[in-house]
Amino acid sequence: MPYMLISTQIRLESGPTNVGDEFSDPAVMSYLGARKTTILGNNFSEYHVDDPPRLVLDKLEEIGFHVVSVTGVGQTLVWCLHKEKE
């Protein structure tokens, strides 16, 4: 899985950070210490960590991910990362 999105609410930039969806690589989610949750009313699951985005980005860089783009969507910050296939 070479692409990944992480996000956080602007007012919560100290965490938690959304690090994946139900189709994310379980090994990467485990490495990040992410927990899988389903919010009442949603028909999908998401992975979250309590770490701020900066720490998550540092951890992902250690395993080969690089930031491709960053954008703001309403009150949310979103980072797109890529990892070259091995």
In this predicted model, what pLDDT tens digit does every residue of 41-51 receive, in sequence order? 888 999 999 99
In this predicted model, what pLDDT tens digit does every residue of 22-67 receive, in sequence order? 999 999 999 999 999 988 888 899 999 999 999 999 999 999 999 9
Length of the chain, in residues: 86
What pTM value is reported for the model?
A: 0.86
Strand residues in 22-73 grouped as ranges (E): 35-37, 46-49, 65-73
Q: Which residues contact 18 (CB under 8 A, 6 or more apart)?
A: 6, 7, 8, 46, 47, 48
In this predicted model, what pLDDT tens digit does every residue of 67-79 receive, in sequence order? 999 999 898 999 9
Of the candidates 18, 51, 52, the one whose C-alpha atom is nearest the C-alpha of residue 36 is 18
User: How sure is the predictor about 1, in pLDDT bands with cuts at 50, 70 and 90?
Assistant: low
User: How sure is the predictor about 80, in pLDDT bands with cuts at 50, 70 and 90?
Assistant: very high
